[in-house]
Each structure stands twice: as C-alpha cells, then as structure tokens.
C-alpha cells in the first residue's frame, strides 16, 4: 500500500512543511534536513524512494526528540529510522508516495 506523504507534518504545536531540497546530498553531504527556524523538513529528491522514507522518518524523529526532550542522539535516530522503515516496508507492505512533490 502506498501512503501519500503530506506536505505538512505537525508535531506538538509546530507545523513543518515537507519538501524536496535539490542537491542537498551533493552540497551538504546530507540526505535530509530539519530547519527548526523556518519549520521545514527537506529531503533530497535524487535518493531512492526507500531512502527518502527512512530520511523522512529520521527527520520526524528529530522533531519528536526536540518536542519531547528525549535526547536520543544522532546515532539512535538513524537506527530507529532504519528499523521503522524496514518494519513498514517488510511487514506492513507500506511504501511512501512522493508523487505530490515537485523538484
């Protein structure tokens, strides 16, 4: 089942816009980013869809971590994001749909 990714994700009181950020991987050596000042989550559009999914989950975990003051750390964010992506894709047959987003 393909789940359409919303253009805005709200964690706590904060609505974050979700979108593509071209060349993020090339210029910043990152696949995604979370900007807490502009309330934006950016994903590099050139990475494979499953990597986009894991990156989005990773960035959402940053929002949850910040809002809940969990202090998970970057390594744990990566581990949890990869585990959640594997669970969704391998067990629930859920894939993220990116068709609403333009380059």
99 pLDDT band, cuts 50/70/90, is confident
- Would the pLDDT of 102 be above 80? no
- Would the pLDDT of 101 be above 90? no
Q: Can you say whether the dihedral through the CA atoms of 46, 50, 56, 58 is positive or negative?
A: negative
- The tokens for 77 are 């964010």
User: Residues 5-56: pLDDT tens digits?
Assistant: 999 999 989 999 999 999 999 888 999 999 999 999 999 999 999 999 999 9
Task: Show the domains of the chain with their CATH numbers.
Answer: 2-94 (1.10.10)
In contact, 103 and 23? CB cutoff 8 Å: no
Mean pLDDT of the region 56-63: 95
């Amino acid at each position: 089942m393909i789940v359409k990714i919303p253009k805005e994700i709200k964690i706590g009181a904060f609505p974050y816009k979700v979108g593509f950020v071209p060349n993020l991987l090339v210029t910043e050596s990152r696949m995604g980013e979370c900007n807490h000042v502009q309330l934006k989550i950016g994903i590099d559009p050139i990475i494979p869809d499953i990597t986009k999914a894991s990156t989005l989950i990773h960035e959402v975990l940053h929002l949850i971590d910040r809002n809940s003051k969990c202090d998970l750390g970057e390594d744990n964010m990566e581990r949890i994001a990869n585990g959640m992506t594997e669970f969704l894709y391998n067990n629930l047959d859920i894939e993220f749909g990116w068709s609403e987003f333009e380059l």
